[in-house]
Structure 1
Amino acid sequence: MKFGMKFEGEDFEVQINEVAIHADGATLLRYGDTVVLSTVVSSKKNVAGIDFLPLTVEFREKSYAVGEIPGGFFKREGKPNEREILSSRLIDRSVRPLFAPGYVEDTQVISYALSADKEHEPDIAAINATAIALLISDIPFFIPVAAVKVGMKDGKFIINPKQEEEKQELELVVAGTETGIVMVEGRANFIPEEKFIDAIYFAHKHIRKLIDFQKKIVQIFGKPKREYKPITYSEEVIEKIANKIDVKDIVLEPSKYQRRLKEQTTLDELKKELDYFVPPSDRFSDEERFSILSQSFFELQRRFIRKMILEKKKRIDGRGPDDIREIEIKLGVLPRVHGSAIFRRGETQALVSATLGTPRDVQLVEYFGVEGEKKRFMLHYNFPPFSSGEVKPIKGPSRREIGHGYLAEKALAPLIPPEDKFPYTIRIVSDILSSNGSTSMASVCGGSLALFDAGVPVPFHVAGVAMGVIKEGEEYEVITDILGDEDHIGDMDFKLAGSREGISAVQMDLKTFGLSFEIIKDAVMRAKKAREKILDIMYNEISSPKHLSVYAPRFSKLKIDTDKIAALIGPGGRNIKQIVDITKADIEIEQDGTVKIFAQDEQGLNRAIELINYYTSDIEEGKTYKAKVKRILPNGALVQLLPSNQYAFMHISQVDTRRISRVVDSIKPNEEIEVKVIKIEEDGRILVSRREAIIEAQGAQKNAATKKGKRF
């Protein structure tokens, strides 16, 4: 059955109970000519031994949606690309907080982009389709949630922007419920904080229209929600644990690693008395009883930390709400790397490197409906297991690593100079060495420092900080530069990056729905103050970019006459291949005569310039050139000067130092010889002499031999 509305003048239509009939919930959503199918299936039994929702989200873009056939040998869609992974994360973060507490049954969301019109983006449609599929299913998901994208042009906000120019200044994905915001993700060109807050307000007004639409659908198609066995903390168990242990000794341990050891040791001791804390019953298995015990133990710690922050304005590491951890910066730590920095904030430490490459190093983007796009700035984030004191196999980049890298990349992208000013390809790599909160924002700070260290002409620094909120009733506290534990026990994880001018990237996840816009505004403005403090420290360390690293490729740009391009390239590309072979340089020749040269070092660059000038220089009287005999004439020969390929005439009297009656007695067609230009006539005709070149060469040899004899 179809159900539709007009959203900002566009058709917004869903079909229910017509496809994927075996799924617990399925929605086919059409927005313009973009069609997305979202399905959700959840198992009917708990996953033993876990204390979180085992939700997986898979978003896939079908090539046929844009009338394309997949490339490669197999000609079919393969593993998810980066954009599909990022879209999956957007869906996950929008719906995960809204599942019923204690629901731990395996749940899978699969969303397919089946048709795309390149104006209505499928990721936004997928979030809305997934929300509807969950709401009409029997899965305990009760709260409607919707999403929009906000762009901006000429200072005016645009909902679900269609044109690229509408996303240049701002591109913000906002998901929310009827009463508040759930998730924000986006980038901006250093917009003021006030403008960013206005954008969230603007988004939420339109989200509520979609929420009203969802409510009508649920009234008609919603199934009764299934009964489930919640696996969560118990007030009775919390009271028993509090009577046995004092969590203060654990919570106030300053070292994250030691705190984890104390937690595990205490939990092991509590487990020995599992029957006391959670008595055996037919309702719960042993794994489920232990999960209830562990969740109750961590809830006791959570309450202690939250109470300490709200009542005493003191955090577990002794800081006040607005305090930033100690920051340490080291530059140029890797001698052969083009730019490098270690940025440490408390126990979070990132080793960030910057590498400069040539235009041939650009990443070719061939996503869904996008072909041939070149990406000349990229940031890759790595989170090895040792950074959190764990043992795990190292595989390819995880979804978290891709998401964090993309966030940091968005934060720094507006800094990168345009290609005509700085034609290098730039890759930043952030290797997290130690983790205790906000590693993505450490990557932003380290990335900015690495760019300065590499000598990239960026205009200013960019820094990032993660904010949190603790709220109980009407009382709340915003906390700055949150620890990993504060992220876990708090009500908000809000990462903001930018410069002194404004915000360049943001990622916000809310875990409670009682946060007012005033609280969010308070967090944004406090983040600005914190960011400015961090920027001061970064500027004190390095205030302007260094000179380009001696190990970075060297670049130069020349301009030649367009009629000299053929001479530079040579027959069959011979000349340009020779230059590349000799200098190992990358050379690009444009139609307007611009020649771009990238060499591995200064010596190679200078040699490449010398050879290019040689092949493109004008013919001068008195100079000797190589030439190829093109045609024998009765009174001389027609030769082609190398490397310019210009034709010249050589009279028979100038062919040899001896008198000859026939030109062929001395030279043959296609023979390469040396000639001296003896005259360039007014009409451009060039006259050359082999005879003069031979005499000149013999004279040079004689002089060299004379000088050698004098030395002895």
Structure 2
Amino acid sequence: MIVKKEKEIGGRMLSIETGRVARQASGAVVVRYGDTMVLAVANGDRNPREGIDFMPLSVEYQEKTYAAGKIPGGFFKREGRPGTPEILSARLIDRPIRPLFPDNYRNETQVIIYVISSDKENPADVLGGIGASAALSISEIPFNGPIASVRVGKIDDQLVLNPTLPQLEESQINLIVSGTYDSIMMVEGQSEEISETEMLEALRFGHQAIREIIELQQELIREIPVQKWEMPEAEQVEGLDEKVEAFALPKIKEAIQIQEKKTRREAISQVRDAVMEHLGEDYAEQGAQVKAIMEKIEKREVRAMILNQGVRLDGRGMDNIRDITCEVSFLPRAHGSA
């Protein structure tokens, strides 16, 4: 079944289609904006990986040379390893979607975005974020989306949604904004010197468009019947949080006051060892849970120290910078003087 939804965004038609290509994938969509098209494919392993405490998510972004009607030059005619722009685009897609998986999700998951057509006007990176979100949302993979990505420019003091490549050359800002319907998840970009008010205005402008794109995705999702995988509840030993906090809290507070980074890390590690020794053999199998509890306590206390005392982890205030050391003639053969 082919399902296609489209909507005018920024003066051009944005369409999201599924069911035509990559039908064996858990979720696959083709996103088109102008004549730029990306294919986003999401796949996941039904069974979680054992013995890990992180989410094994892989996001790849590949720009095919045929998308622009070209053949790779030189001796090798095949596609090579991804270049720096492709790696950075993959990270732009990874960052906003990674926090939206369940906390205990440990299944191998792969999201691949192929740029299959380029009109050399509409950048494909923001389409990759939209495609990744839509592909995950219509797959069996648990995902608390959707999200959307847009680019915001400013030309002649007017905010521009998804500026074209020629427009970006004269734009004061080049801002990529990703988020859910309710909040912004990621901001990346560069700009000339602008005020805080102008930046906030650009973010609000971008988020309004994000909401429209998410509504378009939701129209698509409603027409795709899918049963998400049920995630088993992580085994948590009742009362362990209180025991760890009662013993470790004063020691963690003391450790985070240490300004030297290596010494501070060693102190935190020693606190973890002391907690496991204090708990005894009854909790020997709960090492991962103890580590997670301690990380939560450490994060909370560091945040409280910043908000209440205005002191950061290494002892600097909110308006202090690190001392810088400069030395000339360190490299005897290199070009340059410093």
Report the CA distance between 1:234 and its aligned residue.
6.9
Q: What percentage of residue pairs aligned between the two structures are identical?
A: 36
Aligned counterpart for 1:307 among listed residues 292, 304, 309: 304
Report the CA distance between 1:127 and its aligned residue.
0.7
Aligned counterpart for 1:178 among listed residues 156, 178, 181: 181
Separation in 1 of the partners of 2:239 and 2:302?
20
Mapped pair 1:328 → 2:330 = no
- Partner AA of 1:41 in structure 2: N
Structure 2 counterpart of 1:296:
293
Cα offsets for 1:357-391 (capped at 9, x unmatched):
xxxxxxxxxxxxxxxxxxxxxxxxxxxxxxxxxxx
Structure 2: segments with no counterpart, 5+ residues: none
Mapped pair 1:187 → 2:187 = no
Deviates more, 1:47-56 or 1:197-206: 47-56
- Partner AA of 2:320 in structure 1: I
Structure 2 counterpart of 1:261:
266
Report the CA distance between 1:235 and its aligned residue.
7.2
Alignment of 1:82-101 (within 5 A): 82-101=84-103
Report the CA distance between 1:102 and its aligned residue.
2.5
CA contact (8 A) 1:148 1:160 kept: yes
Structure 1 counterpart of 2:241:
238
CA contact (8 A) 1:61 1:114 kept: yes
Report the CA distance between 1:146 and its aligned residue.
0.5
Separation in 1 of the partners of 2:7 and 2:139?
21
CA contact (8 A) 1:148 1:159 kept: yes
Separation in 2 of the partners of 1:42 and 1:340?
52
Mapped pair 1:276 → 2:279 = no
Q: What is the TM-score of this pair, normalised by structure 2?
A: 0.88
- Partner AA of 2:100 in structure 1: L
Report the CA distance between 1:23 and its aligned residue.
2.0
Cα offsets for 1:408-440 (capped at 9, x unmatched):
xxxxxxxxxxxxxxxxxxxxxxxxxxxxxxxxx
**229 and 88 in structure 1: CA distance in 2 versus 1, 3 angstrom threshold:** same
Q: What is the TM-score of this pair, normalised by structure 1?
A: 0.44
Mapped pair 1:103 → 2:113 = no
Structure 2 counterpart of 1:662:
none
Aligned counterpart for 1:157 among listed residues 156, 159, 165: 159
CA contact (8 A) 1:233 1:299 kept: no
Separation in 2 of the partners of 1:305 and 1:77?
46
Mapped pair 1:205 → 2:201 = no
Report the CA distance between 1:67 and its aligned residue.
1.0
CA contact (8 A) 1:137 1:222 kept: no
**92 and 132 in structure 1: CA distance in 2 versus 1, 3 angstrom threshold:** same
Aligned counterpart for 2:80 among listed residues 78, 81, 89: 78
Alignment of 1:560-575 (within 5 A): none
Structure 1 counterpart of 2:230:
227
**9 and 74 in structure 1: CA distance in 2 versus 1, 3 angstrom threshold:** same
Separation in 2 of the partners of 1:249 and 1:316?
12
Report the CA distance between 1:244 and its aligned residue.
3.0
**36 and 274 in structure 1: CA distance in 2 versus 1, 3 angstrom threshold:** farther
Structure 1 counterpart of 2:33:
31
**234 and 128 in structure 1: CA distance in 2 versus 1, 3 angstrom threshold:** farther
Which protein is richer in strand relative to its size?
A: 1
CA contact (8 A) 1:50 1:291 kept: no
Report the CA distance between 1:141 and its aligned residue.
0.9
Report the CA distance between 1:256 and its aligned residue.
1.4
Structure 1: segments with no counterpart, 5+ residues: 279-285, 342-712
Report the CA distance between 1:312 and its aligned residue.
4.3
Structure 2 counterpart of 1:249:
254
CA contact (8 A) 2:122 2:165 kept: no
- Partner AA of 1:277 in structure 2: Y
Separation in 2 of the partners of 1:63 and 1:262?
51
**314 and 187 in structure 1: CA distance in 2 versus 1, 3 angstrom threshold:** closer
**21 and 291 in structure 1: CA distance in 2 versus 1, 3 angstrom threshold:** farther
CA contact (8 A) 2:150 2:162 kept: yes
**236 and 85 in structure 1: CA distance in 2 versus 1, 3 angstrom threshold:** same
- Partner AA of 1:160 in structure 2: N
CA contact (8 A) 1:36 1:122 kept: yes
**101 and 235 in structure 1: CA distance in 2 versus 1, 3 angstrom threshold:** farther
Separation in 2 of the partners of 1:91 and 1:234?
35
**Partner of 1:46: helix, strand, or coil?**
coil
| Count of matched residue pairs | 331
CA contact (8 A) 2:252 2:271 kept: no
Alignment of 1:439-478 (within 5 A): none
Report the CA distance between 1:205 and its aligned residue.
1.4
Report the CA distance between 1:105 and its aligned residue.
1.9
